[in-house]
Structure 1
Amino acid sequence: MRSRIHLPLALSLASIPGALSHYFFPYFIDNTNVTDYYEYVREDTQGYMPWKGNYDSDDLRCNTDSFQYANQTDVYKVKAGDTIGFGTDFGAQIEHPGPMQVYLSKAPGDVHDYDGSGDWFKIWELGPTSFSSDGIEWGVTGRSNFTFPLPKETPPGHYLVRIEHIALHGAGDFGGAEFYFNCAQIEVESDSTAIPEPVVKIPGVYDGYEPGILFYMYRPYWHNYSMPGPLVWPQSIGNSIYAEGVTGTPTGTWSAPAVTPLLTSAGVMSQ
């Protein structure tokens, strides 16, 4: 039986220092359908605590010990081009600053048997919305549900879909960035024969020294931010930014609209 955190336990967690500022993503969303707690998302033993520092561990794929929950996690059928997403635990609003990213990895067969050791590619990202002398504003702030398009070019098959938020409030020192992430199990219906690229391995995608991970955010003169990891696929989508008048060629770097508008707006996010 799938273990669940019930409301009394949730309230007790809220009394623990730091619990309210931590979160995870146990709800999978398909269009307007919010599924049950850990119904389609692999559970893990990390709980509400962040992942920090160990960039060489297999647990960086879907969180600590998540593979042991694969067989008790259902598989959600979606169509390429659908809007999918994740919701935080009990509607927790994200207040930690930092980027959000979503990766897919195709299983060679049944996703219940897949540990995530294959190739991963990025399909969506959300970085800063503005830069000023007061600091950086982030697109995740104050939100609890995050939805985005599953590319219509996605080939058919079973997949892990991985949401990842990187909190940067302590990232000025190596190992200080906090990772919050989970994986859902989906089956994609599609006629596409496209080959996603670029692809990465997890672990291997980060070493912790990337400028978007080892990042001291408390400076008034930041005017851009480098998203960690590969470019979004397909590149015609571009990198997502929620700001007016942002157009151009995807580069992997986020810039304030008033400074260097480089990126094409894409994706849908709901609250």
Structure 2
Amino acid sequence: MISALFVSLVLSSLVSAHGWLNSVAIGTQTFKGNVPNASPTASVIRQINDVDPVKGANNSFLACGQNAQSATQVASANPGDNVAFSWVNGDAGPWVHNTGPMMTYMASCGDQNCSSFDVSTASWFKIQEQGRVTPGGAWAMSLMNSGAPANVTIPSNIAPGNYIIRHELLALQIAQTLGGAEWYPACVQLQIGGNGTGAPTSDELVKLPGAYSDSDPGVLVDAYSNPNADYVFPGPQVAAFVNGSSTGTADANSTASASGSATAASTSAATSGSSGSCMKKKKRAADQAQLPRPRTVSRVMKNIVIA
């Protein structure tokens, strides 16, 4: 027989290994998210119903997370604002995973308020991508293990309007086998002001799902065997209008010109890198307060059989 204590420890470990977007700070405002599957309160973050990762590049939940529901509020933002995404694990502690890239997309909601926008119809463009902090070193995702947020800059020349901003963590710890990659996406509803004119071109827009394949070199990858190898980011390149819109600290494998480092005291370890379309082309050409725990446990935990 498996002891109740052992089962409890296993379940706790599995929950802790997953997580969700707990809060987001936009400019000077901070917005809380809802615990997955809890009774929702007003938020700008779309609520998911399960802390499990999204598995499979064609999963319908790839856009905003597990069965994500529209949020009731929309945050006001300005071009050039910093957006700080604070992720937590399933026990509401610091983010656990430390291997894999972070990418950020945006999508226009058109003339409608984003609280009623159906993301299955969204056309997404990438504004940021970040891999390792230093060549062969830690991934930027690992900086969140200390509780640091992941910081992204809204392009300073973006056209005003209604947008969803989507932050994505791609955990690669078991990505050496087909279907092993684990996506953690989260969506925040914005209304951006200003008088910018920046916008993606039609060939920079992608669908989610649709932008990735399970066999992409950045999705099906052994992240441990050759840490010095350049990481090939999946999906589209960062939209051209973003380049030069803001100057930020880029990691060794980042091709984004938007600021995208996970920042806290540990960010002093990050190195500055060049950015822009030239860098992107070269890299692609080279090798293409205490929260309650979620009400529901993950599918992994549901499959545990007690003998």
TM bucket normalised to smaller: 0.7 to 0.9
1:121 deviates by 0.6
1:216 deviates by 0.9
**Distance in 2, Cα, partners of 1:149 & 1:131:** 23
Structure 2: which 5+ runs fail to align?
A: 1-7, 35-42, 246-254, 262-269, 287-307
1:30 deviates by 1.1
Would the alpha carbon gap of residues 40 and 254 (structure 1) be closer, same or farther in structure 2, given more than 3 Å must change?
farther
Bigger shift: residues 83-92 or 147-156: 83-92
Counterpart selection for 1:168 from 159, 169, 172: 172
1:84 deviates by 1.1
**Distance in 1, Cα, partners of 2:65 & 2:162:** 19
Bigger shift: residues 28-37 or 142-151: 28-37
**Distance in 1, Cα, partners of 2:53 & 2:85:** 17
Which one has a larger percent helix, Structure 1 or Structure 2?
Answer: 2
Per-residue CA deviations over 1:202-234 (Å, capped at 9, x if unaligned) read: 111001111111001221464211111111132
Does 2:211 correspond to 1:209?
A: no
Match for 2:79: what amino acid? Answer: A
**Distance in 2, Cα, partners of 1:78 & 1:195:** 16
Matched-pair contact (CA < 8 Å) for 1:101–1:125: yes
Matches within 5 A, 1:256-271: none
Would the alpha carbon gap of residues 221 and 59 (structure 1) be closer, same or farther in structure 2, given more than 3 Å must change?
closer
Would the alpha carbon gap of residues 221 and 58 (structure 1) be closer, same or farther in structure 2, given more than 3 Å must change?
closer
1:252 deviates by 6.5
Matched-pair contact (CA < 8 Å) for 1:107–1:158: yes
Match for 1:239: what amino acid? Answer: A
What is the number of equivalent residue pairs in this alignment? Answer: 237
1:14 deviates by 9.6
Counterpart selection for 2:101 from 99, 102, 115: 99
Q: How large is the RMSD of aligned CA atoms in angstroms? A: 2.6
Counterpart selection for 2:274 from 219, 232, 247: 247
1:28 deviates by 1.7
Matches within 5 A, 1:78-157: 78-89=77-88, 90-108=92-110, 109-116=112-119, 117-132=121-136, 136-143=137-144, 144=147, 145-157=149-161
Identity rate, percent? 26
1:236 deviates by 3.0
**Distance in 2, Cα, partners of 1:221 & 1:25:** 28
Does 2:226 correspond to 1:225?
A: no
Matched-pair contact (CA < 8 Å) for 1:75–1:187: yes
Give 3-state SS (helix, strand or coil) of 1:87's partner.
Answer: strand
1:246 deviates by 2.6
Q: Which residue number corresponds to residue 189 of structure 1?
A: 193
Q: Which residue number corresponds to residue 16 of structure 2?
A: 20
**Distance in 1, Cα, partners of 2:127 & 2:220:** 23
Per-residue CA deviations over 1:137-168 (Å, capped at 9, x if unaligned) read: 20110314111110012111111111100010
Per-residue CA deviations over 1:184-219 (Å, capped at 9, x if unaligned) read: 111111212222141111111001111111001221
Matched-pair contact (CA < 8 Å) for 1:155–1:192: yes
Per-residue CA deviations over 1:58-105 (Å, capped at 9, x if unaligned) read: 321111221xx31x4310000111111211133523433000011000
1:170 deviates by 0.2
Q: Which residue number corresponds to residue 243 of structure 2?
A: 235
**Distance in 1, Cα, partners of 2:197 & 2:186:** 27
Would the alpha carbon gap of residues 239 and 253 (structure 1) be closer, same or farther in structure 2, given more than 3 Å must change?
farther
1:35 deviates by 1.6
1:129 deviates by 1.9
Would the alpha carbon gap of residues 79 and 13 (structure 1) be closer, same or farther in structure 2, given more than 3 Å must change?
farther
Matched-pair contact (CA < 8 Å) for 1:94–1:142: no
**Distance in 2, Cα, partners of 1:225 & 1:253:** 13
**Distance in 2, Cα, partners of 1:212 & 1:79:** 32
Give 3-state SS (helix, strand or coil) of 1:147's partner.
Answer: strand
**Distance in 2, Cα, partners of 1:194 & 1:220:** 38
Match for 1:227: what amino acid? Answer: F
Matches within 5 A, 1:1-16: 16=12
Match for 1:137: what amino acid? Answer: A
Would the alpha carbon gap of residues 167 and 254 (structure 1) be closer, same or farther in structure 2, given more than 3 Å must change?
farther
Match for 1:141: what amino acid? Answer: S
**Distance in 2, Cα, partners of 1:157 & 1:221:** 41
